[in-house]
């Protein structure tokens, strides 16, 4: 399923923790108001941050993972996604893991990706605009 908006891990982390109340409000509104897509990588990173950084229990992690799977479509990364990420990393100079998220967003057909970790308003492959919703 194609979604207009793709979310980076940091939006899920802000939406589901009390790390920063202003960013929590913004991220939560984006997730609730838009049909968004995330990738298997984003889910994995989200779980890792909840467990390692916030020491959230596994039952709560499972509940939060269930919530995001209801609110977001999940794009499964494939070998094709990895190859595209390699090309993007070479072409744009992003880290491989940021490129993997961008590749998944491109494959999902998203026109925007929400992230605070990449250059605001940069357009990738003439299709995908990076939006930092916190500035």
Sheet of 72-75: strand order equals: 72-75, 36-39, 5-7, 112-114, 128-131, 123-124
* Dist. CA 128–CA 76, nearest whole Å: 18
Tens of pLDDT, residues 15-29:
999 989 999 999 999
Mean model confidence pLDDT for the chain: 94
Q: What is the pLDDT of residue 105?
A: 97
Q: Which two tokens stand for residue 26?
A: 């913004």
The candidate with the shortest Cα–Cα distance to 13, out of 59, 44, 37, 34, is 44
Interval 119-135 mean pLDDT = 97
* Closest CA relative to residue 114, chosen from 128, 95, 127, 125: 128
Q: Which of 112, 103, 35 is nearest to 73 (CA)?
A: 35
Cα gap 62→119, rounded to integer Å:
32
pLDDT in tens, 65-95: 999 998 899 999 999 999 999 999 999 999 9
Please report, rounded to a whole number, the percentage of residues in the chain having pLDDT higher than 90.
89
What residue ranges do the domains of the chain occupy?
A: 5-76+109-131
Average pLDDT of the residues in 100-128: 96
pLDDT at 39 over 50: yes
pLDDT score recorded for residue 2: 46
pLDDT tens string 5-16: 999 999 999 999
Residue positions counted in the chain = 135
pLDDT number for residue 1:
40
């Amino acid at each position: 399923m194609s979604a207009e908006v793709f979310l980076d891990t940091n939006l899920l982390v802000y939406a589901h923790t009390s790390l920063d109340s202003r960013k929590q409000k913004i991220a939560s509104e984006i997730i609730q108001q838009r049909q968004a897509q995330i990738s298997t990588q984003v889910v994995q990173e989200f779980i890792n941050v909840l467990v390692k950084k916030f020491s959230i229990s596994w039952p709560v992690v499972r509940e939060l993972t269930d919530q995001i799977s209801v609110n977001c479509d999940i794009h499964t990364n494939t070998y094709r996604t990895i190859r595209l990420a390699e090309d993007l990393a070479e072409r744009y100079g992003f880290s491989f893991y940021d490129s993997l998220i961008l590749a998944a967003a491109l494959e999902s057909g998203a026109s925007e990706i929400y992230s605070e970790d990449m250059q605001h308003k940069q357009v990738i492959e003439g299709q995908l605009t990076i939006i930092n919703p916190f500035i």
